[in-house]
């Protein structure tokens, strides 16, 4: 299967929280400017620390743009970084290649260090053909380096603040991004031309990076990308297009983006992004009316109803919500069966758990089922959902919709917290696409 992967790919500079280094960085800041607050952008050391304090205190993740190269250089010089592949499209392309698919990756800033981290099965369009990443990096016009600074923290990690030490509520990460290439969602001419010329041979597209568009430029950045998606769908109506939402700079930008999504088939979000996207959508009743009394206050059901309302509001085939505890999927019936969707979700959840536990999505996933996810599944079944007979998930059908819930696996001592959503999304998408292709035969 050929799968388009766009738009962002970059190097991640990863810092595992260590109290001495972060304390030295905090000491250089103005204490009067420090507060636990998620900033709209990072213009100073204080903005970065305030946003990091907020994410640790809430146990939440976020990605915020760094406004200047000078500040980015200060951040890079302040911590002991380790480097790995980053960018939603790059991470998903690597996994898809490992699973046997043929990803077609947009990589307008491909330098040798980044290319060496990409799977040799990832195809980079150059002059009308697909090249291996290391070969493509040798070509002129594809070379520059982009870095995203990932502050990876674990539950109970501490950071000093003027109000006293703040401990992380749970494992997560905060990302400070200075990336003028990916924030503009650049695609090079070779990528554009290859997709246009070969679109009939492409089975799917998995797209992300819209959330990186800055506040003052998103209205000019989105239209060419949306037009590109529209052209692919019109030229090949069978192509299955999934879009990952990401953490937008503001709710206003997120809502503007969602209004443009008419040609996508599927939308993926995490729980924080769902809150931003769902807004005031009305929530259809997906469970038997007798279950209503049992579900008041159930977080999983609240998310399920919001996702269903968002799917109806957008008029798209599928919405999926990946959380730490489970993955939810709400889709129209017809393209794949309930068992096939649950298998797809389980592949995604297991790949993410394996990456967290071992550092590799193809490693051995942990055995323990997330207890909150398992309880959500049991509650779902008590309210009329069916276990599929294989795996650990459950599904429910109503009014032409299929609702699926898959508990996650629990990595007690995670080695990695970055890229888990991308990994789950890519593995799920690969399995779904195989099922969709099979149903057409």
The model's pLDDT over 341-355, given as tens digits with 9 standing for 90+, comes to 999 999 999 999 999
Pairing state between β 82-86 and 401-407: unpaired
* 20-50 tens-digit pLDDT: 788 889 988 898 899 899 998 999 999 999 9
pLDDT value of position 284? 63
User: pLDDT: is 69 or 141 the higher one?
Assistant: 69
Neighbours of 350 (CB within 10 A): 22
Task: Summarize the confidence of residues 389-411 as an average pLDDT.
Answer: 92
Lowest mean pLDDT among 250-254, 312-316, 372-376, 414-418: 414-418
Ranges of H-type helices in 250-386: 251-258, 271-278, 299-314, 338-358, 371-382
Whole-angstrom CA distances from 287 to 123, 283, 396 are: 44, 11, 8
Lowest mean pLDDT among 90-94, 98-102, 118-122, 138-142: 138-142
Percent of the chain past pLDDT 70, that is, above it, reads 94
Burial class (CB in 10 A: 0-12, 13-18, 19+), 312: middle
Neighbours of 413 (CB within 10 A): 9
Q: What is the mean pLDDT of the chain?
A: 90
Q: Look up the pTM and report it.
A: 0.85
Q: What is the DSSP string of 33-58?
A: G--S---SSB-SHHHHHHHHHHHHHH
Whether the pLDDT of residue 388 is over 80: the answer is no
Any bridge partners for residue 207, and if so which?
6, 243
pLDDT value of position 390? 65
Neighbours of 277 (CB within 10 A): 25
Q: Is 206 left (phi over 0), alpha (psi -120 to 50) or beta?
A: beta
C-alpha span between 341 and 331 (Å, rounded): 9
DSSP SS3 for 194: helix
């Amino acid at each position: 299967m050929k799968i388009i992967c766009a738009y962002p790919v970059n190097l991640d500079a990863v810092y595992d929280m260590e109290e001495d280094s972060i304390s030295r960085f905090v000491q250089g800041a103005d204490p009067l400017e420090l507060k636990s607050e998620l900033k709209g952008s990072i213009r100073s050391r204080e903005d970065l620390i305030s946003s990091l304090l907020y994410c640790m205190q809430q146990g939440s993740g976020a990605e915020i743009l760094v406004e200047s190269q000078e500040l980015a250089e200060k951040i890079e010089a302040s911590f002991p970084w380790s480097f790995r592949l980053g960018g939603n499209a790059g991470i998903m392309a690597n996994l898809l290649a490992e699973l046997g698919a043929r990803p077609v990756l947009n990589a307008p800033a491909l330098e040798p260090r980044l290319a060496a981290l990409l799977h040799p099965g990832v195809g980079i369009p150059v002059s009308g053909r697909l090249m291996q990443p290391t070969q493509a990096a040798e070509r002129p016009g594809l070379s520059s380096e982009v870095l995203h600074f990932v502050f990876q923290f674990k539950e109970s990690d501490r950071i000093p603040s003027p109000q006293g030490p703040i401990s992380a509520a749970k494992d997560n990460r905060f990302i400070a991004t200075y990336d003028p290439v990916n924030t503009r969602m650049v695609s090079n001419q070779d990528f554009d031309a290859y997709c246009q010329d070969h679109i009939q041979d492409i089975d799917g597209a998995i797209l992300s990076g819209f959330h990186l568009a800055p506040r003052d430029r998103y209205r000019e950045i989105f239209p060419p990308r949306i037009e590109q998606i529209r052209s692919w769908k019109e030229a090949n109506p069978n192509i299955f297009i999934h879009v990952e939402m990401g953490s937008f700079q503001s709710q206003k930008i997120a809502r503007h983006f969602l209004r443009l999504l008419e040609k996508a088939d599927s939308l993926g979000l995490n729980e924080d992004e769902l809150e931003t996207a769902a807004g005031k959508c009305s929530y259809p009743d997906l469970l038997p009316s007798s279950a209503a009394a049992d579900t008041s206050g159930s977080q999983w059901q609240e998310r399920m109803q919001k996702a269903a309302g968002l799917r109806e509001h957008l008029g798209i085939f599928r919405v999926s919500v990946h959380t730490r505890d489970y993955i939810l999927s709400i889709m129209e019936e017809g393209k794949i069966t309930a068992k096939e969707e649950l298998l797809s979700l389980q592949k995604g959840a297991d790949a993410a758990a394996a990456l967290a536990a071992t550092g590799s999505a193809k490693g051995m996933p942990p055995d323990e089922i997330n207890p909150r996810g398992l309880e959500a599944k049991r509650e779902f079944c008590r309210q009329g959902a069916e276990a599929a007979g294989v795996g650990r998930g459950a599904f429910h059908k109503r009014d032409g919709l299929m609702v699926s819930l898959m508990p996650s696996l629990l990595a007690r001592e995670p080695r990695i917290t970055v890229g888990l959503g991308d990994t789950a999304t890519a593995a799920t998408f690969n399995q779904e696409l195989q099922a969709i292709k099979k149903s057409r035969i």
